[in-house]
Structure 1
Amino acid sequence: MFKSQSSIKSNQITPAGKEKIVLAQLSLTVAFITLAFSSCSTASSYRKLANNRITTVQMGNGDAILAEVKPGNYRTPQAITEFTKKWYTLMLGWSGGETAVKVNGNLTIPANSYAAAQMMDTRLQKAFLTEFSQLVPSVVFSQDNQLKSSAKVRYVSEPLSLSKDTWAINVVADWILFDSATNTETKTVTFNKSITIKAAAIPPRSVVEEANSLQQLIESIRAYGLEIINVEEFEA
């Protein structure tokens, strides 16, 4: 049997209908691409967050802080700069009647300077202390001496990364010898040094109930987990 003309017309898609179908297909395609892009972005964000390895750490007093996990040899530029400044303060900070430390049986070094030298690579210590001892006036070890020594750090450069655990930093510091008896500066020596610093093991924090100020200062400097492996002149 033949279908009627009206039945044939009802099964045909009009041009307007075809256009709507195409638009619908395009909309679905765009929606799928957008969804795929969004999924990729979310996955990338999760991967980045996982790589950052941000975790929560609870302090001894109960406070919880966010901490980002870093390699053991990571040190911030601020830590390197502060370590350098405090090291200079310790090396050049002493006063009259200073405790003398004998090195190799013939070198006499102020106790503070000797403590600072312990934060240097052992191969560097001997040469540095030999040179430094020539600058220390012998009178500083007498009980009636009123000569005081201090450091004035005038310039510290941004740490320059040499490797994953080694940095170079330039320092300009004045070493000032002050005579309390006459209230005058007796000597000023300017150090222009390029220092190479390397990450070291961070020692566990020890609790010393009756620690003196020198012990506390040494512990605070060691906490940076850095050591000096080279000291050389540089032109400012």
Structure 2
Amino acid sequence: MEDNKINVRIPDGTGYGLSDIEAKAKKLGMNKSELIMKGVSMMMNFDEVFLKRIQGYSEGLHIPEWLVLQNMIIKRMADEAAHYEVYGNSTKLLDEFMLIGDGIERRSVTGEELFNSLKDQYVIKYERKLVEQALNEEKYGTLHSREKALLIKYRAGDTWRESEEYKQELERQALEKKQIEEIEKKYPEAARKQKEHIEKMKAERKAARSNFDWEETVTPEELAGWQKD
């Protein structure tokens, strides 16, 4: 028969002793054994790839793993509290707690299954945001390579042609063309000065953007270290 007893010695330099564990357990309304088993249970049920990612953050930021987890969750809680303070009750679905089933049994989605599902959603969300930004920068001729690639991707398929961004872009181009034609016809000298002003603005904006290349703010090596599998 398997012996289910656990004998653990607290290493020197841990920063707490047996009396501290007992005091913490008492504060949480449990005994020492329950506190220890709660910690063991959490580690046993964490997804292994998830733990490796947390370890990557810990090593990259030079902070303990418990602080990585705690601060990530605190950030989420603070965001929810701020949203509630501004908007009141929210009907937003918490998709990270989704349940799926086959009609007989339901289960929580977690681990890599949840990671990949949420990641796909966020990629779409951030691509749409970047497309909006790229359309604005395109007017000034200050597109970064990633913005250019994304615009090519969207404009190559039905997704782009059916989007609201595309309709707005066509309307903007038509309006600008009409305004330019009217100004050039009525006020040729003013039109010339306006063109010079626009070219100057484009040059200044391009120079300002070139001083901060957001594509290089995180190196591939750093990203791989923080998100390692």
TM-score range, shorter chain: under 0.3
More strand by share: 1
More helix by share: 2
User: Larger Cα Rg: Structure 1 or Structure 2?
Assistant: 1
What TM-score, normalized by structure 2, do the two folds share? 0.26
What TM-score, normalized by structure 1, do the two folds share? 0.25
